[in-house]
A = this chain, B = another copy of it.
Amino acid sequence: MLDPASIKALTFDVFGTVVDWRGSIARDLGDYFAQRKPPIEADWAKFADRWRKKYQPAMERVRSGNRGFVKLDVLHLENLRENLAEFSIAGLSEAEIDHVNRVWHRLDPWPDSVPGMTRLRKRFVLASLSNGNVSLMVDMAKRAGLPWDAILGSETARAFKPQPEAYLRAAEMLSLAPAECLMVAAHNSDLHAAAKCGFRTAFIRRPYEYGAIKKYDLVADTGIDLDCADMNDLADKLGC
């Protein structure tokens, strides 16, 4: 059993957990390229899926030590160029490519995220613990009204999750023991990695992260402390 009084801070995964990256990218790029002259047509949800699929391999090159730490914006841009080629989209200016790459700064929260987090923030410190870089998280939070107390994660730790440094450095910056931190994520692997570092864990169900219902990560694995329908359910379970 998790005693809410033992928790001081909530650290959040962001892509998929707090924001709907796939739906947001499909909407944003769909509108942008429809209004472009000349317009460009594509299956933008599929474009988002393929772009996201290049995410873990790109970070893995950094995690494995084959490449020094770089911001996720840089990895996103490299992956975007590949993706554009694969979708046979050519002729974009560098300014257009930059605008498209920054779609990750313009993601919309799931409907329960801001209300649930606003309740949680009254009692706990809320920090992002994302592989996204600081400026990406700042732009996203300002646009979406995400109520962070601190932006932490890969860039402040200079390590990508699930490397232990990413979690441990966040706890250290909050001047907390890992057991005083509750990692909140829609992905069991993220929570298992946090738990190995001593964090407590809360799963948020996001069955439509990939559009159609997911085949995995539908519910919390055994050993995860809390299994929550959404952020409001997490606030309920923590007595906020």
What is A's interface to B at a CB cutoff of 8 Å? 71, 73, 125, 127, 133-135, 137-138, 141-142, 149-152, 155-156, 173-176
29 of the cross-chain contacts (CB-CB < 8 Å) are A71-B175, A73-B175, A125-B138, A125-B142, A127-B138, A133-B173, A133-B175, A134-B150, A134-B152, A134-B173, A134-B174, A134-B175, A135-B173, A135-B174, A135-B175, A135-B176, A137-B150, A138-B149, A138-B150, A138-B174, A141-B149, A142-B149, A149-B151, A150-B150, A150-B151, A151-B151, A155-B173, A156-B156, A156-B173
Residue of B nearest to A141 (CB): B149
Oligomeric state, in copies = 2
Residues on the B chain within 8 Å of A175, using CB: 71, 73, 133-135
State the CA gap A149–B105 with chains docked (Å): 14
State the CA gap A125–B137 with chains docked (Å): 12
Give, as a whole number of angstroms, the nearest-CB distance from A102 to chain B.
10
State the CA gap A173–B155 with chains docked (Å): 8
Residue of B nearest to A155 (CB): B173
Residues on the B chain within 8 Å of A135, using CB: 173-176
State the CA gap A174–B137 with chains docked (Å): 10
Residues on the B chain within 8 Å of A152, using CB: 134
Residue of B nearest to A71 (CB): B175
Residues on the B chain within 8 Å of A176, using CB: 135
